[in-house]
Structure formats: C-alpha cells, structure tokens
Amino acid sequence: FDDPTHGYANFVDQSTARTKGLLETDNQTVTLRADSTNVATGRGRDSLRLTSKAKYNHGLIVVDLAHMPGNACGVWPAFWTTGPDWPSSGEIDILEGVNLQAGNHMTMHTSEGCSLVGSSCFAHKGCTAKGGAFGDGFNLNKGGTYATEWTSDGIKMWFFSSGQEPKDILGESPDPTKWANPISNFQGGSNCNIDSHFKDQQIVFDTTFCGDWAGREWSKDNVCSVKAPTCEEYVQNNPKAFTEAYWTINALKVYEFDDSSTSPESDQQPKPSIPIATSLPQPSDSPSSESIQASAPSSLVTTSAEQPSETTAPSVPLVTSYIDGGPITVTLNPGSMVTQIITAEPVTVTLPPGVPIPQQKQVQDGTSAQESHRVDCPDDSESTTESRKKDRRNWRFRRHLAEHLRNGGGHYS
C-alpha cells in the first residue's frame, strides 16, 4: 500500500515479503529489507513497514540492532512510534534520518500547545534533538542499542554502541537511573502536558524513499542532487544503491511501569522475557574511556590496532565512538592508529605524541541549524544522581518482537 509520508515506496505484505526475500527470520534475528534488485515501478521501490498491533501509554522501549539502513541518496529509514489521528496523539521519532545524514535525529510531533527543547512540536515541524549513531556510522560499529523512557514527566532517550550497553538493559527489570545521562531529555511541564499530547502509541519500523523529508531535501543536497533530477528518478533506476537498506533486529522489548512495586527494593519481580538474540555482546557499565562518554553525533572516530600487549592502557573501541562537539581526546593501545575522523561540525582533536592526525572529512547533517535543536544533558553530578534516583522507574517486560512474529502478531505493511 501507499506510504502515508508520501514516499516513493510500495509497502508489501508479509507473504510477498518472504517470497521476495525482503523478510528473513531465524532464532536470533529479524531482518527487514528494501528491494535492491529491480527497477522500481508503480508506487515505488518495494519495502517493508512493520507496525505493532499493541498500543502503548508510557513504557521503556529498548531496541538492539545489528544493522540499520545505511546512508544512501533517497533513503529514509525510521524506528518510531505514532498514535491515531496524527498529530493529535503524538509521534516519537527515536532513530531517523535521510540521505547522507551523519547523525541521528530524535523528534517529537504533537498537536498544538506543546513546546519541548525550546521549540513548538506542532505537526510536521516537530521539535528535534540530535544524538547517537546513524546509518553507515552505526553499522561500522556493528550496531548498537537505543532506549526510550516515556513517562508523564517526559521522554528520555539513550544510545549505547555495541559492547557498551548497561548490563541490565535487556534484562528482566532494567534501571535507567543507573545508566549514563540520556542523549535527549524532552521534559514536560507547563510548556507541554506529556499525557495529553502522547497516547496510544504503536511501534513502527520502516524504510521509505524520498517523500516528505528525503524528497524535500533532494535539491538542497549537493551530492545527491547531481545524481538525478529528482529523488524518485534516482531511487527508481538505481536498485544497487540500496543493498545496505535493511534492518537486522537482535531484540525489541517494551517494559511497562510496575504499579505493584512502590520502591526499587520491592520484592515484586517483572515477568521473564525471551530475547531474540541467543548471544548478545558482553556489555559493560561504562565506556572504556571517560573522554568518549558524550553522546551527541557531531563526530565519529575510526581507529585500527594490532593485538595489544598485556600492559596496555585503556583504549577507545577499535571501530567507532561518537563524541560530543567539544575537543576530543583519544587514548589508544600501543600500535594503534587513527584512520579516519568524520565530523558533522569542526572539532579539535588531541592525539597521543607521535600519532598523526588524519584529514577531517565534514559530512552534512541533513538539517540546518535553524531547523534543529540540541539538548544539553547535565553532568552526572551528585545532585543529578540523587534526582535521578528519585525518578527511578521499575519497568516490567511487556511485549517482544520475536513472540509477536511467532504468534502471528504485528502486521507487515
């Protein structure tokens, strides 16, 4: 059927998706693909839109991805939630971007009367924060985990690179108050009543093309606009450009607040859960280097290394880390070297003595400063930690993607 965001995509049903190889499931992962073989016809390029049957009011949504659609001209992937009668019931965009965008955009869309992060969230304009990995940068690091906590007080989001996840994030009762600061904090209050503007949300995975966002940006993009006169023409005639346009989902869990538990120390236990992945990366409580714990998407550092000796100092992950927009300090294992730095804005890089600084490549972000808003999270000071402890939510497992699929739940569109 047609894409409601006016994209150049033909969303196929589950049977068609399996027949054409666009849907793959096994005991460990679920993969959702867009067609990358045929010249598109009719509505557009065959693709998938997976929507939950269940509707949610508050919750902790955790998605562990091994791969997301990579950067390509015309592509518009998103992991998000939406309510009925848009925008009256709200929309929460958790992982979204278009074309060659370097970092993730998190956006709230609401009816009139809601302002978050200093901007009205009304309808298509929305209010946006930036943070976390996206596209090629996300995939280069073998994926990662996004978590979204939605309460009456506000909507917070976290991103953790693969191998850097808190140990409890996919457990039976995760505790976000013990995690690093969120990469975005859409705080409700007098400017926005969260419960009035966000309700009955369904969870959506989709990969569309062109449409209201990617198509609108086509003529503004100096790289994409020279490939074809229009976004639709490029997407139609270049199937091989979309070989990386697929999601591979290790786990998707939704936790609900356990009202029967009145304190963190309650004996009430959450219901057990069954992860899709039988083997997840061994997580740690914090990144390996404090200097890379910031979470905005302004920079991507790529390193390579030989096998470290037994007496190595702490090191950055050997693939990628997203760094905040300020100066970057990189600590490396002996024998390591920095091979690439990709930035969405100019940064200052400090490397150990004797390590050459590679050429910086600036990647356009896809949205102008006038159209976006950055959230600055507070330092994890003692007072902040205490405040977060008071805000603790005891989340209980609610829904699970693999269980939906095994039982015929969820619908493919």
Query: Which residue, chain included where needed, has tokens 């030989």?
Result: 306
Pairing state between β 337-343 and 360-362: parallel
Q: Single out the catalytic residue among 91, 149, 217, 244.
A: 91
- Residue type (1 letter), 192: C
Asked whether 198 and 82 are in contact (CB, 8 A), the reply is no
Asked whether 77 and 47 are in contact (CB, 8 A), the reply is no
Tokens standing for 204? Answer: 């959506």
CB atoms within 10 A of CB 232: 20
Sign of CA dihedral 159, 162, 166, 170: positive
- DSSP code string of 26-48: -SS-EEEE---SS--BTTBEEE-
Q: Is 244 a catalytic residue?
A: no
Non-local CB neighbours of 186 within 8 Å, separated by 6+ positions: 108, 116, 117, 127, 129, 154, 155, 156, 375
Peptide bond into 87 cis (omega under 30): yes
Helix or strand (DSSP H, E) at 406: helix 401-406
Query: Which residue, chain included where needed, has tokens 């400063």?
Result: 369
Q: Hey, is 384 helix, strand or coil? A: helix
100, HSE (Cβ side, Cα atoms, 13 Å):
15
From 382, 386, 344, select the one nearest 362 (Cα to Cα): 344
The CA distance from 79 to 201, in Å, is: 13
Q: Is 96 a catalytic residue?
A: yes
Query: Which residue, chain included where needed, has tokens 């992962």?
Result: 29
Residues recognised as catalytic:
91, 96
